[in-house]
Structure 1
Amino acid sequence: MGLVTDKVALVTGGAAGIGRATAKTFAAEGAKVVVSDVNQDGGAETVRMIEKAGGTALFVAADVAKKADVSDLIAKTVAAYGRLDCAVNNAGIEGKIAPFAAQTEENFDAIIGVNLKGTFLCLQAEIAAMLETGGGTIVNLSSIAGLIGFSGLSPYVASKHGVIGLTKNVALEYATSGIRVNAVCPGGVDTRMLDSLAEQVTSGAQSATDMMAPLHPMGRIGTPQEIAELIVWLSSPRAGFITGTAIPIDGGYVAQ
């Protein structure tokens, strides 16, 4: 028996990185998985990887910043598998690095639209589906940028702080409805997003690993699989008394 045997799990932003690792881990632990992303090729590849390993998965394209897409995503999940038990709101973008005074409205709107509004829209639709079947679990992807500030990343920091606020509030509102809601706050992780940030900061002079590893007390960055393991555990009955939390998984970064 896996941690989430016979559960139905949805992972947004599942085309790569933490989302792909999470979708694969859900499947390995016994869940039927719905993978969603705007990147259709990457999402389809995640599904192929799950099926090749003997799991069950479905890809549904969706832009989480659009309510119609989110509604369609949840409807297709329920149509395919009859219910929604576990949801992971992972879809996110980093945007452009710039001093606060130079940040554009367009960059702010894009980041807030995906990272915060997208989480809001997904939460609403996921909770509605879970209430129909007696409950479920939701994990939102925040960041250490949801706990502390980072120069040049004000819209991203605002969005990830907002995700933690939503997590706490929604967890309280549905604590007696069988729905647990938590957030995870990764530090530097070996993903495309970290590569993009490193490229913006160093113009390619340093890799993401070289730039970020020394900033973490453990002397390295994390792996997508390490984040996935926490997410799936939080979604399992073994974490049954945990709700409303924002858990750093950062090699000690915010303990400094």
Structure 2
Amino acid sequence: MPDPSHRFAGRIGLVTGAASGLGRDAALALAAEGARLVLFDLDAAGLEAVAARCPGAVTVAGEVSRAADIERAAAALDALGPASLLVTAAGLLGPTRPLAEVEEAEWDRLFAVNVKGTWLALKALLPRMEKAGGGAVVTVASGSGLVGNAIFPAYSASKGAVVLMTRSVAVSHAMQGIRANTVCPGQIETPMLRGVFEQLGERAAGVEAMFRAKNPSGRFGEVGEVTAAVLFLLSDAASYINGAALPIDGGRLA
């Protein structure tokens, strides 16, 4: 019987946003289970710290919304071998203001990272996965991409785009042996969540209490709880799961 602790032995993949948060944790977990990875992020120092704990990992520092930088990451994958795994965790929260108060530059930057960055990674990896005979993609969206959000509506719009982009890939590439699913975390204890509260200033304590009160679990999630879902969806155990948008939110959207 294969060792279940090495589900990804011999597999090669790319993780964007790998220097911190959900991307960092996913990269560490994949590497611990045998995957060889290209780690991509704007934070070069953060990447090196993660790579030190990921045997055989290669780092590529760059801007996820810049095609040339993503192509550098794809070229690094080619040097490792056929790629069959992709996790797109790079993302921004953006402004916590009503849509009418969002500046054009803020909107463009948010969509450049969250939407264009996801698209560029898919654009680079899907042909390589087809050539390799298949693969698995997990994009990182948000519970805010499944329902409207009054606190950060621009972010909600961008993550809704990620959900439908992922589902479109699932439909269009299933016959090539490629599965594409997205995880939709709720409030998870990450620097991004803390950034929400920092932006809210004096409103932060009240909003945090509201978030907790509205969650049936009465708490925020842990990064590892999202990572467990990401690895499951990438694994062969999820071979018939394709196009799912999985809420990881303690029942918040139930």
Normalising by structure 2, report the TM-score: 0.94
Other-structure match for 2:222: 223
Other-structure match for 1:32: 36
Match of residue 21, structure 1, among 22, 25, 33: 25
Partners of 2:203 and 2:194 lie apart in 1 by 9
Other-structure match for 2:186: 187
Moved over 6 A (4+): none
Determine whether 1:7 maps to 2:11.
yes
Partners of 2:219 and 2:201 lie apart in 1 by 18
Q: How does 1:84-163 map to 2 (within 5 A)?
A: 84-163=83-162
- The residue identity in structure 2 corresponding to 1:187 is G
Partners of 2:49 and 2:137 lie apart in 1 by 24
Q: Which runs of 5+ in 2 are unaligned?
A: none
Other-structure match for 1:75: 75
Residue 214 of structure 1: how far off its partner (Å): 2.9
Residue 83 of structure 1: how far off its partner (Å): 1.7
Partners of 1:207 and 1:70 lie apart in 2 by 40
Residue 208 of structure 1: how far off its partner (Å): 8.7
| Alpha-carbon contact 2:170-2:181 (below 8 Å) kept | yes
The range that moved more, 236-245 or 205-214, is 205-214
Determine whether 1:65 maps to 2:65.
yes
CA RMSD between the two structures: 1.6
Other-structure match for 1:47: 51
- The residue identity in structure 1 corresponding to 2:240 is F
Residue 213 of structure 1: how far off its partner (Å): 3.0
Going from structure 1 to structure 2, the CA distance change for 1:172 and 1:82 (only over 3 Å counts) comes to same
Partners of 1:231 and 1:28 lie apart in 2 by 14
The range that moved more, 196-205 or 8-17, is 196-205
Partners of 1:78 and 1:88 lie apart in 2 by 17
Going from structure 1 to structure 2, the CA distance change for 1:208 and 1:49 (only over 3 Å counts) comes to farther
| Alpha-carbon contact 2:170-2:243 (below 8 Å) kept | yes
Residue 29 of structure 1: how far off its partner (Å): 1.3
| Alpha-carbon contact 1:189-1:223 (below 8 Å) kept | yes
Partners of 1:205 and 1:154 lie apart in 2 by 17
Residue 10 of structure 1: how far off its partner (Å): 1.3
Going from structure 1 to structure 2, the CA distance change for 1:203 and 1:60 (only over 3 Å counts) comes to farther
- The residue identity in structure 1 corresponding to 2:94 is G
Partners of 1:210 and 1:59 lie apart in 2 by 39
Residue 66 of structure 1: how far off its partner (Å): 0.7
Give the percent of matched residue pairs that are identical in Structure 1 and Structure 2: 37
Q: Which runs of 5+ in 1 are unaligned?
A: none
Residue 152 of structure 1: how far off its partner (Å): 3.3
- The residue identity in structure 2 corresponding to 1:94 is L
Q: How does 1:176-255 map to 2 (within 5 A)?
A: 176-203=175-202, 206=205, 212-255=211-254
Partners of 2:206 and 2:78 lie apart in 1 by 42
Q: Summarize deviations over 1:112-166 as a string: whole Å, max 9, x none.
A: 1100111111111110111121111110111001101111312111110000110
> Tell me, what secondary structure is at the counterpart of 1:174?
helix
Partners of 2:95 and 2:21 lie apart in 1 by 19
Residue 37 of structure 1: how far off its partner (Å): 0.4
- The residue identity in structure 2 corresponding to 1:37 is D
> Tell me, what secondary structure is at the counterpart of 1:21?
helix
The range that moved more, 175-184 or 97-106, is 97-106
Normalising by structure 1, report the TM-score: 0.93
